[in-house]
Amino acid sequence: MLSGHSHDDIQSATHSDGESPGRNQGAHGQGELDSARLLQGQREVLIRHGGECYRLRHTRNDKLILTK
């Protein structure tokens, strides 16, 4: 099942300080986003990036697969 969230829904999920919920700074200053927060209980989500659509899947083996 694919998430019904649009690109605008994802953008509106940021705090007023511009920081996304569930996002922490990693050891090297890179943003870190928990997969459970991104997937929101779904097994697949669509991610739009640079005009292209990608599919992020959480597998039965507890792996994440990103495909174009």
Q: What's residue 10's pLDDT?
A: 44
Convert the pLDDT of each residue in 16-61 to its tens digit.
444 455 556 555 667 999 999 999 999 999 999 999 999 999 999 9
C-alpha to C-alpha distance for 13 and 60, rounded to whole angstroms: 27
- Alpha helices (runs of H) in the chain, residue ranges in sequence order: 7-11, 35-39
pLDDT at position 11: 40
Q: Is 11 or 34 the better-scoring residue by pLDDT?
A: 34
Once rounded to an integer, what is the mean pLDDT over residues 10-15?
A: 41
Q: Which residues pair with 53 in a beta bridge?
A: 48
Domains and CATH numbers, the chain: 7-13+23-67 (2.10.70.10)
